[in-house]
Every structure is written in structure tokens, then in C-alpha cells.
Structure 1
Amino acid sequence: EVADRLNKTFGRDLYTEKNILISGTHTHSTPGGTGGTVLVDLTTLGFVKQNWEACVNGIVQSIMRAHNNLQLGRIKINIGQVDNCNINRSPASYLNNIDREQYKYNTDHEMTVLRFESIDGKNEIGMMNFFPVHAVSLNSSNLLVAGDNKGYASYLFEKSKNPQGTLPGQGKFVAAFGQSNEGDVSPNLNGPKCIDTGLPCEFYTSTCDGRNEKCIGCGPG
């Protein structure tokens, strides 16, 4: 659908399924019903065209904005280790991995950053970040649409790079926080706790007095 809409503006040969790359992620704080399959759309009681349209239109608009701002540039890459930013949400299950001794941590701590700059290196154009962590810093008590931790990171990064007073998403500098191998990786560094006692949940079953409803991931925030 994205390619079809772009074809109406740019012709059929410029943007196709062969050169459009969509980096997918998700949060638990956005409208659903956009998957097109029964299992994915079960929580919204089916497909929701309005939400799907918002996603498709947003992708199309972002590609069109990028196309209209094409320029020569350079891409730099940096890879480093970032600690204390994620935990394994299923540590008991992880112990069943026969190759676990090969790794220092039970989650991946590697962050990759792509820096986009002008051809002379004097002007920053944007950045793209890849780090493994689920965007579930906001729990089920949140009733507002939100981009969660990755959306907030993008907002703060763009705010720091664009002129003061620039509206979110309207600045020349673009910061994208994508997803990598998130697996069983949680941002809730304080671990799962029982909401009635504040004590850690049972390690092997993630329950509190035999019930999983009382066990939630906690903090920071």
C-alpha cells in the first residue's frame, strides 16, 4: 500500500518493495487493529481501518518529506555497549539456554548509531539508533496514545538538535530510535514486583500468591 501511494506521485520505478525499508517496532500505548491477521488484531476485536490508515499515511508522508529534502551526505556508524538500560523479563527461562555461558549478560547491551551528515561533515542531518528493549515503560494504567521510551527518546533528541521552539516532528534534524533483537528484553529495571506487597514476584512463575495479575514490571519512572 505504501509503494502504491508513492507510485501515484513519483511513478512506478522510483520507490518499490525492493528499496523501501520499514523498521518495525511497537508499544503497548498506541491504537491497534493494524496487523491484518486474526491473532494480532484480536485485542481490538478486528481490523481498524482508521488506525491502519494513520500508519500508512505517516510512512508515506515521511518518505515524501525525505525525498523533497534529498542532498549529498555521509553516513557514519558507531557501535558501543550501554549498560543498565534493559533487563531480561524471563530470567528463569533464559537459564535453559545451553549456550548461556558464552555471554556476559542475559540481554544484549550493544547499541548501534548511524549518523547522517552533510557531504562536508559540517551539518548534522539526522541519526538512527538501534537498541534492544521493548517499548513498555508505560503499563496498562496509561490510557493515552504514546510512543513510549523510543518515542520519548526521539522527541528529546530532536528537541536538543533543532532550534528552540520547533514543533515536534517539524525540525530539519530527524532522530529515529528503531528496534533490534528485543526478544525478552524489558526496560523495567526494577524488575517484576507484586503490586499488593511490593515484594519481587515468584522467580519461576512470575506470579504473586499464584496469580499473574498482581505481577507487573516496575520502573524507573
Structure 2
Amino acid sequence: MIAPAGSVDRIASALLANGLILRGGFNFTLGDVPPPGQSGAPAKSVLLVGQAGAAPWPHFLRWQEKQSRIIANPLDTWSRDVIGAVAETFGARAVSPSDKPYLPFQQWAMLAEGLKPSPLGILMHPRYGLWHAYRGALLFEQQLPIEAAEAPIHLCDSCVEKPCLKSCPVDAYSAQGFAYQSCLAHVRGANGGPCRTGGCLDRNACPYGTAYRYPAEVQAFHMAAFADL
């Protein structure tokens, strides 16, 4: 069991070695129903682990090159390996957004960083825009010295033009939500080349956080995973 004093900084340093960062956290309250921690007892705190921009990409590629076989969902597997090793070192339980039954990662992220969803459903970050992700979380069976997040400015509120809702050729995103089947058919179809090679046109149209935009190869990787190509 780790000692709270100084542990958060040491966890952040361990994650940074693989391009990952802490994305905030919080202590569960009496009204919450937290998932179990490492021993099976209810967790008392959670730290979100993720990325800003494509910082983990070179680390992931080096790991992938060393694998002796093709791995399904390799980025998820790499994330579990890296975050799991940190969890073991610091006496935590590592969990992933793709674990079943699904854990409320988006709600946790909103609590941890005070963010709100963009029109695309991706949480809007005041610095990273839409170019960030949550790759896992660390559950602890003791409270940690975590300061409550202050709600940042929600950039979407001041964005009048909303180019993120005007760039998709099949209007996949609208006030009615995400038209999954229309998006999937387009990406897989004859006219979906720009989306397959350069990523979602709506996401790329967002004017915020462009310094953190994923390179084309990273966006193509995620699009191929989405469309099962």
C-alpha cells in the first residue's frame, strides 16, 4: 500500500516514461458506489490516466515492434500493460475504458478535470481541444491528497460557427446525436478515403488545441479500428 504523501507525483513520473499523463482524480464520497480496489474492498480514490496529443505513439510503436504475434486491439493491450505495471508498483488496481462491465470513465473524467462534452461527444479540454484521451485509471483503497478540479472555460460555448458540425459529408453529428451507421458506411465506402487516411473531418475542423492534433498516421490507425478495416 502506498503512502499518500508524494505518491501522486511519483505516479506521474512513472507514467510519463511512456508518454502518458495523469488526468486528475478524486476521492469517492459516501454517496458513491465505487468499484473494488486491488484487494476487492471498495476503492476510495481514483486517478485518471491518459494522453495529450500523440505523446504515447512512439512508445506504443516500439512495444508493437517487439511483439511476436499480431495482437487484437494492440493500443488497449499496450495501455493495460503500462498502466498495470504502474498500478502494481504503487498498490493500485488498474482499469481500462474497454473493460466489461463498463466503468463510468466519462463521468469520472468530468469530475476529475471539470470538462464538458463537445458537440461530438468528446470532452473539450481548454488546452488540448479534442486531441486527448483517457487510457485507463488507477483505483486506490485509501484517499489521496487530490485537489478538487475547478471548472475551466468551456470553449464550445464561445464557438459560434461550430465547424465541427459542418464538415462531415454525411452529417454524422447533429443535435440528434451521432449517426453511427451513416458514419461507418461512409468511412468504409468509396468516398471515405479522406476520413480513412486523415481522420474524422468534423473533429479536424475544430479550431481549438490544434498544436496537439494527432498526426495523420495516428488518426488513420484509430479510424481503421473504428471501421474494422
TM-score bracket for the superposition, by shorter chain length: under 0.3
More RCO (CA 8 Å, sep 6+): 2
TM normalised by structure 1 equals 0.23
Larger gyration radius, structure 1 or structure 2:
1
The structure carrying a bigger helix percent of its residues is: 2
